[in-house]
Amino acid sequence: MIVNRDHLVRGPYTAFAEVADAYERGRPGYPDEAVRWLVGDEPRDVVDLGAGTGKLTRSLVALGHRVTAVEPLVEMLELLPEAAPGAFALLGSAEVIPLPDAFADVVTCAQSFHWFDHAVALPEIARVLRPGGRLALVWNARDDRDPWTARLSAIVGNETVQEDDVFPVLAASGLFGPVETATFSFEQALDRDGLLDLVLSRSYVAKLPWADRQPVLEAVGALYDETAGPDGVRLAYRVECFRAEKIEAP
């Protein structure tokens, strides 16, 4: 179910609106072992914030959690119910979460935390978390230690996440305790169309004018044609995970 709100500010991530279908087709999900580390094994009330088309949402639902997926782009959110049946899909943003206080045990942010206005979003996240609640952040980062993956990144660039992208931000808020980290590895199998969709869904390609995208997509297609086997290609990832508990006011 999708609940709409009339007054929603669309932010710098709106390039994703045009490529929502490619995002759903090409982006990888998250391995269950990483999701369990982030959220836990027992069923919990989870808010998946900046949920996109539900790449993490579907794993949360499959593991038995009660999930409210919050996403600011209608174009992305419209694809979520089919991908993650059982989740409650809600139009909203990290800066204005349309949920009551103490609503969730865990707030997850998959591939989204870096888009937030942290000074506004972190108090909102703390507001919707229950006492002892957890903020869980995750990014799929391409692993350029793999030679083929490094060749792809040489064409399209790479986005990585560092502890400095998380630790000082949460510490400055004064709202969360010590940050724990974990890293997991997996590979994504892709055919030619899937690889092109993946590249198109990256923000640094999606925001380009169409004429500027074409040379990038052509170069990626040429790489695939040169290197793909009968089962396509396999793209290596490092899953960078962070979690921290909400600090209760004295």
- The predicted-structure confidence for 136-158, as pLDDT tens digits, reads as follows 999 999 999 999 999 999 999 88
pLDDT tens-digit series, residues 75-98: 989 999 999 999 999 999 999 999
52: left (phi over 0), alpha (psi -120 to 50) or beta: left
Tens-place pLDDT, residues 208-247 = 788 888 999 999 999 999 999 999 999 999 999 999 999 9
Q: How far apart are CA 216 and CA 213, in angstroms?
A: 5
pLDDT for 250: 66
pTM of the model as a whole: 0.90
**Count of positions (residues) in the chain:** 250
What local confidence, expressed as pLDDT, does residue 133 receive? Answer: 98
Report all structural domains of the chain as residue ranges with CATH numbers, in order of start: 2-144+159-187+238-245 (3.40.50.150)
Place of tokens 């990038």: 216
What's the pLDDT band for 16 if we cut at 50, 70, 90? low
